[in-house]
Structure 1
């Protein structure tokens, strides 16, 4: 007898999917049996990822099947702390009532919003989450941007005219790749979508190219590099500026006709000599000179700086210097240099994502400037705790865990507990969402259609790919875009001060169309000839070719279509850099680190990804341990200005003397919402990072935090 028509087939079925857990957006080949995922491998036909997959991609089905994952809305009883599953309509109304009543009583800025990194990895969040944020119209909007990448976006805005007009290293054709404070072997690229970095690095060296790394830790990338130099945390700006000074002194720094301010740059860096850089960074002066001259002499070269140079007090100076080095060596908009993408959906050129701005308003307590309508997340805790007009009284978090991932997380944890109301859109009960009154969980990556609006804009090759959902959504579940639609429409309907009827109708129209329909319309109105029909017919993706040179000055979004080499915001900050005191003998500076098997503050509860050697330990040089009479493997106490944690220590010469390292946002050990089996050991580095240490952009200075390390009393 044949099986019933609706019964799932037991024969294996292969479908193409995508891993959107990190920026590499690797194509996947997924095996299904009886509706369950039984195998995940890289798709060799994907024109960008070329069959590469990292452990996170293999574990994507584990996230889908995780018993800890929420599948229905839950409500917290504030008197008992107990959670109860509720229906979607009740959940939507509770959240809309909580947000609208706060706005009606205290004004729109009394609602705070925090957006975590997973939002940019979801098509529905990109198309509809932004609509929800705009509908609430609060100035108290925060995101992970001001934790790790704000200097990049701000400098792109100031120099090139758009916050996402970011130069991408043309790694597949470069001869000289200088990596500063980045670890693409672990990250798969960041603000540089580069799946299969290991093979691309091998190809670079096979064609005679060089991979040079500057980092205070011998990272996975440094281990495979042609050469690696230890750099004192927070001193990267001195080295980069000294390299510029050498190029000007040698008379080889030039700029294209569509750039202005070269003379101002030369004057600004004149006193930042290699000798001063050596004293501040530990990189010998002659090495700084050699690095600069070899960069300029290479047939093609590119400088790439990432988290390590974004997350200290001079991140904007660093990112400016990286851009200027690429420009004055003739390597911007050049094959093998720093180039701009030509995506099928051009979110930059078509204005789908705004150009950005800076300082249009400031935070209420500390007067910190907004950037692109977001305030620095380092200000969030004080905006909740400080009474007065505009005090944050209600919070909405969208796929984020700021208690683990933002500065002084322990105090933010306390502040969230004092809110009048909180809601979260999240699949987990975590350190942050445990404070929510209502949690609304969306579907996971395997259950929804996907198109990468952002990461195809940041990729090392021009490709386009649309991925239909691999699995049907679970019974009674909701996609994130459906959740955002209901929250936006229901909250606005409850406001005392209603938008005009025209604006309400426009909001409804925008929030009702599905993300897939919006992608279809954007492709149809584009100029590349790529359509949704063609993408469905080529599920592995369409190759649009390597990055193209000669896009400037037309691609620039500045009003005069010229590059501003000398933005005042950065040049003014050089005086603050010059005043930094010399290193203190015996001082310890804390840096973060990331691992290929996790992504910031989540995936630490996935058993497949937490196997193997412990990775939560504090890394410390043996000489620094000996100087403090501490033993390898012991539990030590790490103390900063804002907090103290106890953690096991591992001796290693992979960190330079005077440097200690903890993973960023790691561990669920203190989360009572997760089962004991899911609570991996570890502490959050952000119980030690200091919200008062900021870059001029407002980005958190998570790297180079002064700490002491001692034995645990008793």
Structure 2
């Protein structure tokens, strides 16, 4: 591919923007938006242009390295893989299988090869001490999906292209391009909404970039979202505005929600939330009386002390006002690869609390413990203490609370390995780093974000550049390690059938598996002779077998299911390769009750774990609203967590890692613009320049997420030159939502002083 124009999907955030990359003489000449992409329609953000920086970065690792007393030394691939397998097995043999911990960063979900290979790798690793970015991010959403709809991945998505009212709570899609709502070109879509007479309402402790394009904006105190939402529920029942619409036959326990909301009248919560009672009632009325409307909440609502309840209540409000499963409301996607149906068929719909963490006793979710427990599980002696660690495409020192404590824990491990492109703030403590190929050297298909998209589409991107012969894709790295670990677990060798299976798996790779999933999915090959032969058998299976029988579930997923007969057919890897800009599979469609996975086929509106957790919300209501400054994070369009700060074009210009503070609070504290301030929290303190702005609610301060590149020993000089400070060096890892185990990243109390003060 020395010269030409190539179509791809940008993998740097959830938006899945279509891009065209022009290559001349083996080098990237330009990156532009693809106007033919059915989802992004030509939109891209500044991050996409930096793809070439990441690919060409001379500081990106291109072969395995081992940490020694004399610095990082290169290793051959077989030597590195053998060493890692040997050391991980040594830790297992000496201290038990749970003595090895594993952390998965969120780049894994942008990579279908890694998603396919992670399963056998984690199985071969055998540990129950698993962690991921989930509990610092979207866990409350997945829990609410599981409790109400029966599946952790069944996300209700705002149908933004047909909506007339979007109430946006604790979310900033102008900067994120949507989060758990893949929505490229949000500004254009909001202009279209407003052009048809619709309205965007934003509620946030900060007047965000999204608030700047909104029709109305309300400040809200951090951590009080659940109180406001419960007051909206109270208003619906109090004023006779409850009307679930066509889904009412599948609802249960509506009366329990009404009883739970009784103490939370708007007049009881206004002082705690900072929103007038009249405004809360008006919001509830507007949501109830606007036929095409949705309430959408994200990081601000989920990563707080009442994140579980707040996220549940967002679902409840959309359901009670008849916005679930209707065009212009919130709807479930029907992706080409239906991970929801496949997960249910495999018995992997999700679960909470089957086990609890060793030290704090926090519940696991989907087999993972909260990331906030990692450091204490490494530092606390005893059976099950983590002494070896695997970090897959993550940087939890910067992305998890109390990063300094985690650094201390990592430094004391017996062995650590990281699969990553860079030496970062976390894996500078690793013994071995295994770097995968760049994203432009591998194929790409979005298995996860098509579950979250505002429109059903499908797109496959082949590799843009040929990988070097001395490189490995991440899926190859994981499968090679898994194979070696399985051999060691079985005394050094496997049976010939098992060996043959591993060799075939490693030879096959993820793309043929993707092809099989596409062909057997709802848009797969369901016409011609196949239909005449298979349709009667499919109907027979659906009629005769119990709903929970595996063959019944498989028939439901088949393109021959009559439920899918109106959908386009013929999707496969080869057909996607003939449509390089992607295939439009149509707008979101009503799908209930068939899409429910609860045991009784009904929506569980009042799960008992939420009702029980309302005791904490009652306590908050009885307490004084509280004093002191509350800390929140923020996001920028040119950044995504800690990934992209080694691209000069994304970090150049005005410094973005600042402490934002309201003018009144700054005056009270004697702070001046640009002056360094000392911010102290439960975990420690940072020094950060002051930015005074009326965009912050009084009593609230903000530090962006993902910075803190001042740590020595990393291999990212551009990031180090724009180091900033880490919000997670301030936030305590002992602050979690006990309902879900999610880290409290928004609403912890801090003190702020001019740098000269003690």
- TM-score (ref. length: structure 2): 0.91
1:37 to 19, 28, 41: 28
Q: Do structure 1's residue 439 and structure 2's residue 433 form an aligned pair?
A: yes
Q: Which residue of 2 is the match for residue 682 of structure 1?
A: 724
Change in CA separation of 1:513 and 1:709 when aligned onto 2, cut-off 3 Å: same
**Equivalent position SS for 1:350:** helix
Distance 1:499 1:637, change over 3 A: farther
Cα RMSD between the aligned structures?
A: 1.6
Q: How many Å separate the matches in 1 of 2:342 and 2:743?
A: 31
Could you tell me how far apart the structure 1 residues matched to 2:128 and 2:163 are? 42
3-state SS in 1 of match to 2:576: helix
C-alpha distance in 1 between matches for 2:388 and 2:503: 24
Q: Aligned-pair distance for 1:505?
A: 6.5
Paired position in structure 1 for 2:338: 346
Q: Which residue of 2 aligns with 1:664?
A: 705
Instruction: Verify the 8 A CA contact 1:461 1:546 in the aligned structure 2.
Output: yes
Report the more deviating stretch, 582-591 or 307-316.
Answer: 582-591
Secondary structure of 2:646's match?
A: coil
Is 1:54 aligned with 2:49?
no
The alignment covers a number of residue pairs equal to: 702
- Partner Cα distance (1:713, 1:616) in 2: 20
Equivalent pair of 2:336/2:518 in contact (CA under 8 Å): yes
Cα deviation, residue 675, structure 1 = 5.1
Q: 1:403 corresponds to which residue?
A: 397
Shift of 1:667: 3.6
Q: Which moved more, 1:505-514 or 1:252-261?
A: 505-514
Structure-to-structure mapping, 1:96-175, within 5 angstroms? 96-175=85-164
Residue 253 of structure 1: how far off its partner (Å): 1.3
Corresponding residue SS for 2:451: coil
Distance 2:452 2:501 in 1: 30
Superposition pairs of residues 306-385 of structure 1, within 5 angstroms:
306-351=298-343, 354-385=348-379
* 1:403-426 deviation per Cα after TM superposition (whole angstroms, max 9, x unaligned): 000010011011100000000000
Moved more, 236-245 or 573-582: 573-582
1:56 counterpart SS class: helix
Maintained 8 Å contact 1:403/1:432:
yes
- The aligned counterpart of 1:599 is 640
Select the structure that is richer in helix.
2
Partner residue, 1:471: 465
Counterpart in the other structure of 1:527: 522
Deviations 1:152-198 (A, max 9, x none): 00110111111100000000001110000000000000111111111
Matched, 1:567 2:607: yes
C-alpha separation in 1, matches of 2:257 and 2:222: 24
Counterparts in 2 of 1:287-302, with a 5 A limit?
287-302=279-294
Task: Pick closer, same or farther for the CA change 1:372–1:629 going to 2, 3 Å.
Answer: same
With over 3 angstroms needed to count, the CA separation of the structure-2 counterparts of 1:651 and 1:499, relative to structure 1, is farther
- In 2, the alpha carbon distance for the partners of 1:213 and 1:239 equals 14
SS of residue in 1 equivalent to 2:146: helix
Structure 1 residues 663 and 86, CA, compared in 2 at 3 Å: closer, same or farther?
same
Verify the 8 A CA contact 1:30 1:40 in the aligned structure 2.
yes
Contact 2:647–2:718, Cα closer than 8 Å, also in 1: no
Q: Given that residues 605 and 668 in structure 1 are in contact (C-alpha distance below 8 angstroms), is that contact kept between their aligned partners in structure 2?
A: no
- CA offset at residue 617 of structure 1? 0.5
Change (3 A) 1:103 1:585: closer
1:462 and 1:489 map into 2 onto residues whose CA distance is 36
Instruction: Report if aligned partners of 1:104, 1:496 keep a CA contact under 8 Å in 2.
Output: no
TM superposition shift of 1:674: 2.7
Q: Name the CA distance, whole Å, in 2 between partners of 1:246 and 1:505.
A: 63
SS in 1 for 2:743: coil
Residue 219 (structure 2) aligns with: 230
Contact 1:647 1:682 survives alignment (8 Å): yes
Once the two structures are TM-superposed, the CA of residue 585 in structure 1 deviates from its matched residue by: 6.1
Give the equivalent residue in structure 2 for 1:538. Answer: 579
Between the aligned partners of 1:63 and 1:682, the Cα distance in structure 2 is 20
Following TM superposition, by how much is the alpha carbon of 1:602 offset from its aligned partner in structure 2, in angstroms?
1.6
1:137: Cα distance to partner? Answer: 2.0
Q: What is the SS of the residue equivalent to 1:645?
A: strand
1:532 Cα deviation from its structure 2 partner: 1.2
The corresponding residue for 1:705 is 748
Unaligned runs of 5+ in 1: 1-7
Match of 1:3 in 2: none
Paired with 1:546 and 1:371, the residues of 2 have a C-alpha distance of: 31
SS, match of residue 172 in structure 1: helix
Distance change (3 Å), C-alpha of 1:500 and 1:237: farther
Q: Answer whether contact 1:109 1:139 (CA < 8 A) is retained.
A: yes
Shift of 1:676: 4.2
Aligned-pair distance for 1:134? 2.2
Q: Which residue number in structure 2 is paired with residue 279 of structure 1?
A: 271
Distance 1:645 1:511 in 2: 46
**Whole-angstrom distance in 1 between the partners of 2:456 and 2:121:** 30
